[in-house]
Amino acid sequence: MGLVQFAGVKGTRTHRLLGYTWIGLMLAVALSSFLIHELRQWGNFSAIHLLSIFTLAMLPLGIYFARHHNVVGHRKTMLGLFFGALVVAGAFTLLPSRILGRVIFGG
């Protein structure tokens, strides 16, 4: 969905609808990550939870920028969320020591 947003025409009704859908999904994923305690680097938490905090802080900022027509700020925030919270976090899930990594790569 993020790639569709980046490639599509900005400011349209479809862009806004997909954007709010993406924000809702990212919010659900970030909040649900606090129920995952597999890695336990600091008590019940790990580096992935730092990405969740980053996501929860940046989502409202991205909305704020969009509503105030700060296109550059909105673009930078959404790109940062996409790559930081989605691509980087996704890469962590594929580590050989993680469940999804073992499922995909064997082990």
How high is the mean pLDDT of the chain? Answer: 86
Q: Which residue has the higher pLDDT, 103 or 59?
A: 59
What is the model's pTM? 0.76
Distances (CA, A) of 4 to 7, 82, 90: 5, 12, 18
Q: Is the pLDDT of residue 107 over 70?
A: no
Q: Which residue has the higher pLDDT, 52 or 17?
A: 17
Which residues are paired to 42 by β-bridges? Answer: 45
Q: Are 62 and 81 in contact (CB under 8 A)?
A: yes
Structurally, how many domains does the chain consist of? 1
pLDDT, one tens digit per residue, over 43-88 is 666 777 788 888 999 999 999 999 999 999 999 999 999 988 777 8
The confidence score (pLDDT) of residue 97 equals 77
| Residue numbers of the domain that contains 40 | 2-105
